[in-house]
Amino acid sequence: AMSALWALTGSVDPRPMQDAKVSDVVNDKCKTAKVSINGTINNAKFVITRTKSAASKRGASGLSFHLDGEDLSAQSAKDTQAVIDEKLGVGTQVLARTIFHGQHAVNGLLEATDGKLKDELSLIVPLNLWQEAASLARAKSRIASQKAAEVSGMISLRNKDLEVLLKRRDTSQGMANKKREMYNAKEAHVQSELNRIEATFNSENKDDVQIDLDEIKNTLGVST
């Protein structure tokens, strides 16, 4: 895995060493380090070969890239690496974190500051995407809060109107009940008087009295 990482990116995982050198990839008993990695990109075969000499003179390192039988190697290793990154569709920083992710710092992400964590996440997902999503969410939240406040105010007003209407209904029902009681009392009183008048007359003038009683009843609207 380490050799594949070096072949793809030209670097190895960061180690807690103060005197590390680029030439450390070369074995102490060898003069040159060489790694070739084969794979496919969208079903097209590729070969990446990276070499490094123990000597630190110019031209001691090399990088070649072949894709689908075509040599895409540039004049410099830096330019060739740019072509590799373009064809793979991912940068060296993401590739490095795909093969190794801080194996020498187990709690690296857990103990990272907010800025450091965002820097790490930005290598995989652009932060502007999350920033736009957060802005959109805040805007929608403000609109929803305003609408909720408006609806709450309308509900409060309607509840007050309902209280007024309920009081009016109760008052009207109370007045109607009192009037009904007064009407029933008057009706009972009139009926009692009619019964008393009818009882005071004897049978001799019953017919004449009956006519008078009928007229009184008709006038008062009372039925027997």
Cβ atoms of 62 and 36 closer than 8 Å: no
Lowest mean pLDDT among 19-28, 36-45, 172-181: 19-28
Q: Which residue has the higher pLDDT, 21 or 111?
A: 111
pLDDT at 21: 55
Spatial distance between the Cα atoms of 37 and 114, rounded to a whole number of angstroms = 37
Cβ atoms of 32 and 54 closer than 8 Å: yes
Whole-model pTM over 0.85:
no
Cβ atoms of 82 and 42 closer than 8 Å: no
Token pair 């008062």 is found at 220
Spatial distance between the Cα atoms of 146 and 186, rounded to a whole number of angstroms = 60
Token pair 């009372």 is found at 222
CA distances from 64 to 59, 78, 178 (A): 14, 11, 107
44-101 pLDDT, tens digit each: 999 999 888 876 544 467 899 999 999 999 888 889 989 998 898 877 777 777 765 5
Contacts of 178 by beta carbon, 8 Å cutoff, 6+ apart? none
Query: What is the pLDDT averaged over residues 103-128?
Result: 73
Residue 48 belongs to what H/E stretch? strand 44-53
Residue 24 DSSP label: G
Q: Left, alpha or beta for 42 (phi > 0: left; psi -120 to 50: alpha)?
A: left
147-182 pLDDT, tens digit each: 999 999 999 999 999 999 999 999 999 999 999 999
Lowest mean pLDDT among 24-28, 174-178, 192-196: 24-28
Q: Which of 61, 74, 62, 65 is nearest to 47 (CA)?
A: 65
Q: Left, alpha or beta for 102 (phi > 0: left; psi -120 to 50: alpha)?
A: left
Structure tokens at 54: 């123990």
> If pLDDT is split at 50, 70 and 90, which confidence band does 125 have?
confident
